[in-house]
Amino acid sequence: MAKKISIINGPNLNLLGVREPGIYGNSSFDKCLETLASRYPDVEISYFQSNSEGAIIDELHRVGFGEVEGIILNAGAYTHTSLAIADAISAINTPVIEVHISNVHAREEIRHRSMISGVCRGVIAGFGLDSYRLALEAFI
């Protein structure tokens, strides 16, 4: 039976490939998903992206009670501001790995603090889009 993993991306991550390529690279997230699906054919990967905090919380609630075996979450800027997303992670049963494309600790000081790290299984940051593969490997 295939392992089911959900990837949830937050605000502005729909602009990967065009947004600040010096920080986030030139590749779209669609390309990242294609690569992951090709590399891990025995893993069923679902994907959700929203610029809305409430929609991210709704998706965590939807998949977080047995729909999937793991959640890879890049909450974007909400990482640093959203107690509501932290509460949603605490409320669900499915483990969550926090992911960041950039090394948030090498950026502005406000990005050094995460509201969600303490309720996640782990944190992966700074490996570009490969951060998602590393999180997927952790669940496998």
Let me know if 112 is a catalytic residue. Answer: no
Q: Which amino acid is at 36?
A: L
94, β-bridge pairs: none
Establish whether 100 is a catalytic residue: yes
Q: Alpha-carbon distance 135 to 140, whole Å? A: 9
Tokens of 2: 């295939």
Catalytic-labelled residue, pool 78, 80, 100, 112: 100
Listed residue (28, 40, 29) closest to 2, CA to CA: 40
Catalytic residue list: 24, 100
